[in-house]
Structure 1
Amino acid sequence: MTHPAPCLIQLADDLESHGNLLALLNEVPADELTDRGRIGLIQFSHSLLRDFEKIEKQFKRYRASIAPSC
């Protein structure tokens, strides 16, 4: 069973949003956080990575849907 291709505009929006969040992670001074803040940063990073993996899967489905069958 094939899955419908995700909307390319939605993929682009998701990638842009995650890029903004990654930029935020890059700028957070971890050495200035409390222990609880560090735990939150780790949890946020893990969640962001999981979400990004979902976007990658959607992009692979999109790419497969537009690939010519040879």
Structure 2
Amino acid sequence: MPVPLAKVFAAAGEGISRVIRKPPMLARGQLHFFQWQVRADSSKAQRELGSTPTPLEDGLRRALVAMGLLS
């Protein structure tokens, strides 16, 4: 969906949500958050703390094992 159309949809949805007293499907703040393109950079932690990044799959596996959800 084009961003200008999404902005109209979000604004209209907020207005309708006030009338029907239910949360909007997409609030303008949520749309703004979705548009925010950011990338994490761990280079400072690697450089200053000697940290090494863990691949996503390994990190998830370790977390699930620690929670007792995976053996």
TM-score category of the 2 structures, normalised to the smaller one: 0.3 to 0.5
Q: Highest relative contact order (Cα 8 Å, sep 6+), 1 or 2?
A: 1
TM-score, with length taken from structure 1: 0.33
Q: Work out which of the two has the higher radius of gyration on C-alpha atoms and give 1 or 2.
A: 2
The two structures have a TM-score, normalised by structure 2, of 0.33
Q: Which has the higher helix share?
A: 1
